A and B are shown apart, each in its own frame.
Chain A
Amino acid sequence: MNKKRLQAKDFITIGIFTALLFVVEFACGMLGFLHPYIVASYVIMIPIVGSIPMMLFYTKIEKFGMLTIMSVLLAIIMFVMGMGYLGAPLIILAGIVADLIAKSGNYKSSKKTVISYGVFCLWICANYFPVIVTADSYRKDLLDGGYSAEYCDNLFRAINYKTIGVLLVLCFVFGCIGAFIGKAVVKKHFEKAGIV
């Protein structure tokens, strides 16, 4: 049996943690319906809350490909939920890069894990892509439909070409902070219980 290849057990682990991460994302996403500005604050909420399952996931990674497959699954789920295919390349790219970084630390180095999770968190920004890329036609559609300029302005003031850079950086920074929190939580609860 080739040790390097992914086994059925690994695929099942990926599936479970993808589902958990998606539930976290969805729960935070529900808050975003309240106001456009909350949509922008996803970059803070999701990395921190999502870090707990993800850090547990990182302790189970031993082979290359698990993070990549997870990002592919996330891209598929995002597409099915109507977020479009525009973000998919970014999601998968973030997954592959995060995987490579973690691999260079042999999936054990804690410093590499933190950076890798920060990069992985960039997938959250992919959710904004439809709003940014199609901004002009999207805005025109909204205004033609008789929407108040106020709502449009709020949405596009929070998310546009200029702020996406800031959002990406924030995402990475809070991903790294979240990784530390997640590691602490995993250490507090799961290592004592002997699950890791």
Chain B
Amino acid sequence: MTARLDPRTKLYMILVVSAVVMMSATTPFLWAVRILMTIVPIVLLITEKHYASAFRFLILYTSALVINFTCLSEQSEGFLMAFLVGYCSIIVQFMPAMITAWYVVRTTKIDEFVSAMQKMHFPDGITISLAVVMRFFPTIKEEYLAIRDAMKMRGIVLGEGNIARMVEFRMIPLLFSCVNIGDELSAAAITRGLGGKVKRTSVEILKLGIQDYLLITLFTSVLLIFVVFKYFR
């Protein structure tokens, strides 16, 4: 299956999952719906050939779920138990949003995202800034790894035990490179006509396909189930 999802569907998925994450599941049926909702982005990650991250998420989510349920049945007393249960419940609670966000950031190309936002008539300022944010996380990670390598090469470990220096040694070079990258990015963007007065066109032609409608229906029903059970029971 090579059919790609429309960015608008992905954004809708984020919206629904983030809303549902806020409502806690109390009955087994709601738990089943919630787990189903988490499985969908994992499956989507697999279809987009991101096997490693899909596998990692699956393991983490399943183990948190298992620990959560086995410990819930017992009397969870004591510090360690309370800690473990608290940790797992946080993971179970927020993992779906994390997975969906990860999936969307990883599989959406920036030009797709921008043209989708333009089609939904978002203001340009928000669209461009959000696109830069999305593009920038991998860059920050790369730069950070380079800084860490450089520090290792010079034999600086953890900033010599001083917390202020620990932060300073990492933050300052990171800021330097990010500011420079930002300047290059704006030069590149202006060359491509960003910020001009004419309405921009896009190479990507966005069209909702069958898989988009299927997913939108699925996620709408998930949202409806949760709202109905939460407020109209």
With A15-B128, A138-B24, A148-B81 already in contact, the answer to whether A82 and B136 are too (CB < 8 A) is no
B130 in contact with A9 (CB, 8 Å): no
B126 in contact with A16 (CB, 8 Å): no
B186 in contact with A22 (CB, 8 Å): no
Contact with A along B9-37 (1 / 0, CB 8 A): 00000100111011010100000000000
Q: Tell me the complex Cα distance, A56–B171, Å.
A: 12
Q: Tell me the complex Cα distance, A145–B186, Å.
A: 51
A146 in contact with B81 (CB, 8 Å): no
**Which of A69-77, A103-111, A117-125, A168-176 contacts its partner?**
A69-77
A144 to B, closest residue via Cβ: B26
A189 in contact with B172 (CB, 8 Å): yes
Q: Tell me the complex Cα distance, A79–B11, Å.
A: 12
A82 in contact with B94 (CB, 8 Å): yes
B140 in contact with A193 (CB, 8 Å): no
Q: Tell me the complex Cα distance, A80–B97, Å.
A: 7
Q: Tell me the complex Cα distance, A69–B131, Å.
A: 13
Q: How many interface residues does chain A have, given as a range?
A: 35 or more
With A13-B182, A151-B86 already in contact, the answer to whether A19 and B132 are too (CB < 8 A) is yes
A73 in contact with B128 (CB, 8 Å): no
A141 in contact with B24 (CB, 8 Å): yes
**B55 close to A (CB within 8 Å):** no
B96, B132, B137, B167: the one within 8 Å of A11 (CB): B132
Interface of A is mostly: helix
B168 in contact with A185 (CB, 8 Å): yes
A20 in contact with B132 (CB, 8 Å): no
B77 in contact with A81 (CB, 8 Å): no
Residues of chain B at interface, number, CB under 8 A? 59
With A19-B133, A33-B90, A146-B72 already in contact, the answer to whether A9 and B186 are too (CB < 8 A) is yes
Number of A-B contacts (CB under 8 A): 148
- Within the complex, the shortest CB–CB distance from A109 to chain B, in Å, comes to 23
Q: Which residues of A contact B158 (CB under 8 A)?
A: none
B72 in contact with A6 (CB, 8 Å): no
Contact with A along B172-191 (1 / 0, CB 8 A): 10111011011001100110
8 Å CB interface, A42-81 against B: 49, 52-53, 56, 65, 69-70, 72-73, 76-77, 79-81
**A136 close to B (CB within 8 Å):** no
B97 in contact with A15 (CB, 8 Å): no
Q: Which residues of B contact A72 (CB under 8 A)?
A: 126
Q: Tell me the complex Cα distance, A73–B134, Å.
A: 11
A20 in contact with B178 (CB, 8 Å): yes
Q: Tell me the complex Cα distance, A9–B190, Å.
A: 8
Q: Tell me the complex Cα distance, A60–B125, Å.
A: 17
- Within the complex, the shortest CB–CB distance from A156 to chain B, in Å, comes to 13
Contact with A along B114-130 (1 / 0, CB 8 A): 00000000001110111
Q: Tell me the complex Cα distance, A35–B131, Å.
A: 34
Q: Tell me the complex Cα distance, A145–B128, Å.
A: 43
Q: Tell me the complex Cα distance, A56–B179, Å.
A: 9
A150 to B, closest residue via Cβ: B82
Q: Tell me the complex Cα distance, A141–B30, Å.
A: 13
Considering residues A80, A138, A150, which has the most beta carbons from chain B within 10 angstroms of its beta carbon?
A80
A8, A19, A33, A151: the one within 8 Å of B136 (CB): A19
**B151 close to A (CB within 8 Å):** no
- Within the complex, the shortest CB–CB distance from B189 to chain A, in Å, comes to 6
A12 in contact with B82 (CB, 8 Å): no
> Taking beta carbons and an 8 Å cutoff, which residues of B are in contact with A?
14, 17-19, 21-22, 24, 26, 72-73, 75-79, 81-83, 85-87, 89-90, 93-94, 96-98, 101, 124-126, 128-133, 135-137, 140, 167-168, 171-172, 174-176, 178-179, 181-182, 185-186, 189-190, 194-195
11 residue pairs bridging A and B, Cβ less than 8 Å apart:
A6-B125, A9-B195, A11-B124, A11-B128, A12-B132, A15-B128, A16-B132, A82-B96, A141-B24, A151-B85, A190-B175
Task: List the 8 shortest-distance A-B pairs measured between CB atoms, nearest first.
Answer: A15-B132, A8-B195, A82-B97, A19-B136, A11-B128, A151-B82, A82-B21, A9-B186
